[in-house]
Amino acid sequence: MFMMNLLMSEILVQLTNSPACLSAEVLEITSLPNGNFVIKIRARLQKRCNFQVRLYYNNGHYDYSYQLYNQGTIARWDNKEDFPHLPGFPHHFHTENGAVIESSLSGDPLRDFAAVLREVERSIALI
Split at pLDDT 50, 70, 90, the class of 73 is very high
DSSP 98: S
Q: Which domain holds residue 20?
A: 2-126
DSSP state, 7? H
Reported residue count of the chain is 127
Distance CA 52, CA 113 (A): 12
Using CA atoms of 121, 46, 91, 37 in order, give the dihedral in degrees to the nearest 10: 120
- Of the pLDDT bands very low, low, confident and very high (cuts 50, 70, 90), residue 1 is confident
- pLDDT category, 127, cuts 50, 70, 90? confident
- Number of domains the chain contains: 1
